[in-house]
Amino acid sequence: MSVPSLAAAFAGGLLSFLSPCVLPLVPIYLSFVSGESAREIAGGRVPKALLASRTIFFVAGFSAVFVLLALLVGSGARLLGAGVVVSRVAGIVVLVLAANVVLDFIPFLRATRVNTAVAPKGIPGPARAALLGMAFAAGWTPCVGPILSSILLLAGTQADPARAASLLAAYSIGLALPFLLASLFLDRSRALLSFFQRHSRATKIASAALLALVGALMLTGGLTGFASGALRAGYALADLAETGPAWIRPFAGLLSRWLSFSGA
């Protein structure tokens, strides 16, 4: 799995969190997962340990769904064969999704289907938070849908369930980290959250640019070139780790193993 693919998936997760469909609703999501009112959370009257622990189960819930989807997509691609044609078609679809982030011309991506009824209040807190995370993943809110769909399409070109899962794991981490930080530092992060809310248009444009870059690389085969470059750099660093100056050998060896794994 190439570093650029994982980085793009991680950035997609961050941009999904900053989207106008998720960012303004963060206090409400935290209220759902903790069982406390948004007013009490905003006022700092909910213990941070409780809020953070429930948020961990929440992000684990949606991460599990995303990774499962990736495994299914990767398994299907392995059966069908993810060749050049599949990659090119997927690249075109991702470019269309990139345009939709700004222009919003695909009707079914506007529908929000998150249903909190899947986790009634009688269920214990952690389990309820995890079920809500799964509902969040299944809902695919309007702004998250194009980014998530694009990462799934990129995963589908891998023809390897493990690589597909690693992409969605990176996406999940990018989406989960801000949720966890918000649960711990919501009182300190209001100014930052407000800043991104005021500049939601810029977030949309950045999301569209990221997807357009991924789509263009899929269409032209550029992602394969990145992976090949990572392997070549890994081999060069491996030689440096054996023949270079003593002070640089440990660093070269570490970078070599990382790049060789990333380009695998």
- Residue 58's pLDDT is 92
Average pLDDT of the segment spanning 119-125? 59
- Residue 140's pLDDT is 60
How far, in Å, CA of 60 to CA of 130, rounded? 6
Q: Which H or E element spans position 131?
A: helix 125-139
Average pLDDT of the segment spanning 155-183? 86
- Residue 124's pLDDT is 57
Residue 135, pLDDT above cutoff 90: no
Task: Look up residue 229 and give its two tokens.
Answer: 């470059």
Domain layout of the chain by residue ranges? 3-220, 225-264
User: Could you report the per-residue pLDDT of 169-178, keeping only the tens digit for each?
Assistant: 999 999 999 9
User: Could you report the per-residue pLDDT of 69-91, keeping only the tens digit for each?
Assistant: 888 877 765 555 555 666 777 77
**How far from chain centre, in Å, is Cα 150?**
10
Distances (CA, A) of 132 to 54, 66, 99, 145, 168: 10, 14, 30, 17, 19
Which amino acid is present at 29?
Y
CB 139 within 8 A of CB 113: yes
- Residue 176's pLDDT is 93
- Residue 171's pLDDT is 92
User: Could you report the per-residue pLDDT of 195-240, keeping only the tens digit for each?
Assistant: 877 878 888 888 888 888 888 877 776 655 545 555 555 566 677 6
- Residue 56's pLDDT is 93
Which amino acid is present at 61?
G
Mean of the per-residue pLDDT values of the chain: 76
- Residue 57's pLDDT is 93
How far, in Å, CA of 14 to CA of 181, rounded? 12
pLDDT-derived band of residue 132, with 50, 70 and 90 as boundaries? Answer: confident
How far, in Å, CA of 112 to CA of 184, rounded? 27
Residue 107, pLDDT above cutoff 70: no
Q: Which of 57-61, 125-129, 205-209, 257-261 has the lowest mean pLDDT?
A: 257-261
- Residue 177's pLDDT is 93
Residue 242, pLDDT above cutoff 70: yes
Between these two residues, 147 and 20, which has the higher pLDDT value?
A: 147
Query: Helix, strand, coil shares of the chain as percentages rounded to 5?
Result: 80, 0, 20
Distances (CA, A) of 173 to 3, 15, 86, 88: 15, 12, 27, 27
Residue 35, pLDDT above cutoff 70: yes
Report pTM.
0.73
Percent residues over pLDDT 70 in the chain: 72
Alpha-carbon dihedral angle through residues 47, 51, 52, 57, given to the nearest 10 degrees: 150
Residue 263, pLDDT above cutoff 90: no
- Residue 129's pLDDT is 85
Please tell me whether residue 150 adopts helix, strand or coil conformation: helix
Which is nearest to 38 in space by CA: 22, 51, 56, 21? 51
Q: Which of 56-60, 79-83, 158-162, 217-221 has the lowest mean pLDDT?
A: 79-83
Task: Look up residue 54 and give its two tokens.
Answer: 């429930």
